[in-house]
Structures are given as structure tokens and as C-alpha cells.
Amino acid sequence: MKRIFIAALFISGINHAYAQKSIPLYQGKAPGTENWTQKEAQQFSELFKTEVVFNVSQPSILVFEADKTRANGTVVVIAPGGGFQSLSINREGVDLAKKLAENGITAVVLKYRLLETKSNDPAKEMMENIKDRNAFDAKTAPVKVMAGEDIRTAISYIRTHAKELKINPEKLGVIGFSAGASVILESVLHSKDASTLPNFAASIYGGPSQEILNTEVPKAVLPMFICAASDDQLKLAPKSVVLYNKWLEAGQPAELHIYEKGGHGFGMGKQNLPVDKWSDVYLDWLRFHNFL
């Protein structure tokens, strides 16, 4: 795996107002997508009712430093969802990162490679593309591999720069939402060595492929937190149950929360429902495993 890193760039501006720093994962073009020409953009999606990032061709991480008075060395890499067409950058990224940082955990939002958006509306384009599910899955398959490479590269960077980032390399976790849940499972199930294998993981309304579900669970202890809603519009809740059973059968620590209401993509949004508290439950789980 090719990993070339450059120094962190301190940034400012409205798009990343809460990020402490942005770090590109590769020097120059990312391996395998040297010919991509699309330019990363961010805008509010009327369809998703949240900010989205799209046309990511140069993967990067946004680092949110832990509150210094509460920092305990834990770091969590967050992979937002968006059907591999966009990233729900706030509701499934920045908002959770801020909460983790406030509780003493360094949070890292991953901006992984995505399908090219040819229009200026990634959400609408994805909904059109997904009408032919087989064609869409075939189109996203190579991008999923690239995104898996991106999260493993991010994990390697974080562990290599543990002292600089003030984190414990043995207290590194990953959490992914929807498509992002498939991305984090790439690091959990397809890491070839311990340097890119996280110490704990969380899948939030994920829909892992059959190939992922058929992959052997790591032998090293790796607690898994799983959360979804029964009324998920994409009907993905059963896959969360399958993932839970897979972890359970492997003798791995696993915790499953299925809320009655919440839909797909609830993230850090507020609906005046019990699901609004899922991130507090996640913090309790982290505390139980001594990561908080």
C-alpha cells in the first residue's frame, strides 16, 4: 500500500469552521485515481436537509483535538455516509466529532473518495442512479475499494503520528454511517496487518454487502457497537442484526440497539424521538470498554 503523507495544514473558513486542522492523505494524486479531474465541493442538500461534500478525489482527514482537560488518548475515525456519492459532512461527521472532542476523545472525520457527481446535486443524482441497483452497485464497487484504502491510510497516519496528535495508538476506533459503515468495515475485515486494524468499531444504520458479511472476523478482540432504526427507509435494519450475530458467533464483544423509529440517516439530527439519544448510549459503551 502506497502511503505518502505531508504536513498538516492549519485552516480557517466557514466550510471547516470547527476543524482544528485538515491533513491530506496522499502527496499529489491519490494512487489509482491519478486521472480524476473532479473538484471537491460542499453545499446544502435540499433533499437530505444537511450539508454535503461531493466529488472527493483527494482524500483527507479533519482532526478535532480532544478537550485538553478531559483527553484520555482515545481517537475515533468517523466515516460519514452518502451512498458513495456524497458525504453528510455535518450530521454524520463534524457534529459527532465535536461531541467526542468535548468528552476527551480526539475525533477524525474522513473524507474518502466518491463517485463523480456530474450535476450540482449529488443527492438527486444518487437517487436517480440507485433506481438500477445492480448497475449502481457495479459502479460503486471499485470506489468502495478505494475508500477502504483511504481509511486504512488514515489509520496508519494517525498511529504513526500518535505522539504529535496526543493519542494512544492502541485506543483507536472507527465509526461509520450508512455507506460509511461499509468503509469502516473495510478496515476491520480487510486489514492485512495490525497497523491498520482498529481496536473498536461502530456501525450506524449500515448495509454491509454479502462479501463483507462472509469475511472472517479478526482474531484480536474488537468490540462492535451497532445501531439502526426499524423503520429505515432502505430496509437495512436486518443487516445490522446479521452483523451483530456475526460478531456474537465469533465470540467478539457486541452491542446492538434497534430503535423503533428514526428512519435512515438520523445521524446527529433531532427528531424528538428516543433515537436522538443514540450518541449518549455510544458514549456509555465507550466508557464501559474504558475508551472514555
pLDDT for the residue 8? 39
Residues 6+ apart with CB under 8 A from 275: 229, 259, 261, 262, 266
Helix (H, G, I), strand (E, B) or coil at 136: helix
Architecture category of domain 21-289 in CATH: 3-Layer(aba) Sandwich (3.40)
Q: Where are the domains of the chain?
A: 21-289
Query: CA-to-CA distance for 154 and 149, rounded, in angstroms?
Result: 9
pLDDT for the residue 10? 37
pLDDT for the residue 87? 97
Burial of 127 (0-12, 13-18, 19+ CB in 10 A): middle
Reference 110, options 74, 145, 158; nearest CA is 158
Burial of 5 (0-12, 13-18, 19+ CB in 10 A): middle
pLDDT tens per residue, the chain (292 residues)? Answer: 444 343 333 333 333 344 578 999 998 889 999 999 999 999 998 888 889 999 999 999 999 999 999 999 999 999 999 999 999 999 999 999 999 999 999 999 999 999 999 988 898 888 888 888 888 888 899 999 999 999 999 999 999 999 999 999 999 999 999 999 999 999 999 998 899 999 999 999 999 988 988 999 999 999 999 999 999 999 999 999 999 999 999 999 999 999 999 999 999 999 999 999 999 999 999 999 999 9
Cell numbers at 17, concatenated:
469552521
